[in-house]
Chain A
């Protein structure tokens, strides 16, 4: 179904594609739980992890996913600062293409670059984070996490908290969750929202959603994408937007906390909440997201190249 298909944004995935990725993830999750975590499915295939922006978990996640499927994966990192006028994106691609690779996984800090790359090459491309545009595999692993926790999507209430305007995760997640019937509320201050947010379900304080939400999705404050000081201070953020112990205790039973990582401790989520154990700790689904991420990415690689 996904054969030779690129994954650029959520809109270009059909409900059928999404269903297929989720159902395949189940079997790949099982493989990751085995003692020998490897199947020969993609033996002989070459994948390039092309990261023009720093990343720990997404890059590692794709790398592990590829390796568990027995594909050869090559990491290519380049800091954007050394990239002169972006021409080297094209030049780098030309070099990589002449080495006969089968799939490119790409991350870049400039919105639209993944689409540009997809137009340029004739092999499948996976968007691993495209500027402030989209991050579709993150949204898919988030969806899978929700599926595993709730067993359903329709009627769930999700609140996405924080830096909306600079977040590619928010754009992909909102698009995907709404597609699946989840009610999404964005909780963000005016300076992290577009000028016109009519038509969006918007609140400005986490307290407005904390009690009723099934999913509290905390966004990372994208400090690296702020070209000026967007928000007054951490104290101001803590007052209106951070997830602290008081707020965690107000969450309804069965509800969960998600975050795309890495967390700015003390900004979006307090230390106390991050390190909580026991029954309340089960609300925090952040590590599960990472585990499920590998399964989702295995499913995607398999469906495209298998």
Chain B
């Protein structure tokens, strides 16, 4: 594998998906010196240093863009590192990730943004740092958002915490308009969610697990839409979980508010009945909600009210999950199952077209982040994923590349296997 990395690659006879045009066509692709040099029906290459990959019957997609991950570095390198997270990403066909700032220290200064960019130079995929909106995620003092933007922050977020102070949130929004910065909002009302473990509903009652009402998300979504109307800020609601939140976003969009949103694969895949096993991998924030919410989210994706799918990859050690439900940490890993989970749910079960689905994990998040990614273009650096859509795999704990194994999808049979990934022009992943 290591030897093939720098070689030229010829992808033969794959079905190329172009999510921009919504079309698919069979063709060869030649990647020379990391650049897409040719896309045409029959390419013959005689150079010996070329790796030829037979992609016949497979789908060739632009590399995926995951706009919400936690790479845990710096500070929690026992759970994940930029390097291990990037390896997990490319195994999942992802060639660009935006990483959240809740590390230790928090990504709230120029030097830390530069640190992430420096560390990720050699990593398997493109890593874009999201910087904090408040110092140390304290919810009290605004960060140097101007300097952070100049240092290379792709967006701003206090992910993991809601900002309680409405005045501060409003000032952050106003300042973001001056900078043209994107705000990624984790919507949670602490007073509602405090001590909660799971979605408040039938299952929280019968299982005796403290609930987190949908109001926790909804109250903050409502507030932030009002603040965005007033400030004209560009806001993005991440890991949307409620039907009512979706309805508010739909209405706001219709009224011209500059708002987008994403949903995670686990919120599309599971409802709160999964909790009866007390499996702590289902303990996530926001919580996996009711079937009614889940169905609404699927409709939201189908109708395009939801703009993107993002993993919210949240690595945790076994010791943080292999404990009582109350003490377990929140989060599931998601990079390696991002595509197969949504493909199984949305394309196989819900009959969504593949080009449409791929848009949610390529062009759309790239557009939200304002980056040039999610496309296969001649003359540009190759970021390409080859998928066998017919292959089915049972997700096993020991098969994950990520340093952490806390996946809600363990035991699920998922369709759609990543065959190989070319990221930053190099063949960085091939399945066995």
B327 in the interface, Cβ–Cβ < 8 Å?
Answer: yes
CB contacts under 8 Å to A, within B316-346, are 319-320, 322-328
Contact with B along A70-110 (1 / 0, CB 8 A): 00000000000000011101100000000000000000101
Binds B, one of A59-67, A129-137, A278-286: A129-137
A171 in the interface, Cβ–Cβ < 8 Å?
Answer: yes
Are A111 and B195 in touch, CB under 8 angstroms?
no
Are B201 and A110 in touch, CB under 8 angstroms?
no
Are A110 and B327 in touch, CB under 8 angstroms?
yes
Name the contact of B322 in the complex, choosing from A90, A111, A165, A227 (C-beta under 8 A). A90
A113 in the interface, Cβ–Cβ < 8 Å?
Answer: yes
- In the complex, the 5 A-B pairs of residues with the closest C-beta atoms, listed nearest first: A132-B208, A112-B278, A86-B323, A110-B324, A133-B208
Q: Which residues of A contact B328 (CB under 8 A)?
A: 86
Known contacts A194-B200, A195-B213, A227-B195; A111 and B205 CB within 8 A of each other: no
CB contacts under 8 Å to B, within A244-258, are none
Contact with A along B200-243 (1 / 0, CB 8 A): 11101111110101000000000000000000000000000000
Q: Give the most central of A111, A113, A165, A168: most B CB within 10 Å.
A: A111
Residue of B nearest to A52 (CB): B324
CB contacts under 8 Å to A, within B242-301, are 277-278
What are 28 pairs between A and B in contact, CB < 8 Å?
A85-B320, A86-B328, A87-B322, A87-B323, A90-B322, A90-B323, A110-B326, A111-B207, A111-B209, A111-B278, A112-B207, A112-B325, A115-B277, A115-B278, A116-B278, A116-B324, A116-B325, A130-B208, A131-B208, A132-B208, A132-B209, A133-B207, A133-B208, A133-B209, A168-B208, A194-B202, A195-B213, A196-B201
Q: Which residues of A contact B325 (CB under 8 A)?
A: 110-113, 116
Known contacts A111-B209, A131-B326, A227-B195; A194 and B319 CB within 8 A of each other: no
Within the complex, what minimum Cβ distance (angstroms) separates B318 from chain A? 10
Q: Which residues of A contact B322 (CB under 8 A)?
A: 87, 90
Within the complex, what minimum Cβ distance (angstroms) separates A282 from chain B? 34
Q: Which residues of A contact B207 (CB under 8 A)?
A: 111-112, 133
A196→B199 CA distance, assembly (Å)? 13
Q: Which residues of A contact B323 (CB under 8 A)?
A: 85-87, 89-90
Residue of B nearest to A197 (CB): B205
Residue of A nearest to B195 (CB): A227
A173→B202 CA distance, assembly (Å)? 17
Are B201 and A112 in touch, CB under 8 angstroms?
no
Q: Which residues of A contact B324 (CB under 8 A)?
A: 86, 89, 108, 110, 112-113, 116
CB contacts under 8 Å to A, within B170-214, are 195, 200-202, 204-209, 211, 213
Contact with B along A151-176 (1 / 0, CB 8 A): 00000000000000100100100000
Within the complex, what minimum Cβ distance (angstroms) separates A303 from chain B? 25
Are B326 and A195 in touch, CB under 8 angstroms?
no
A142→B392 CA distance, assembly (Å)? 50
CB contacts under 8 Å to B, within A220-259, are 227
Q: Which residues of B contact A195 (CB under 8 A)?
A: 200-201, 211, 213
Q: Which residues of B contact A115 (CB under 8 A)?
A: 277-278
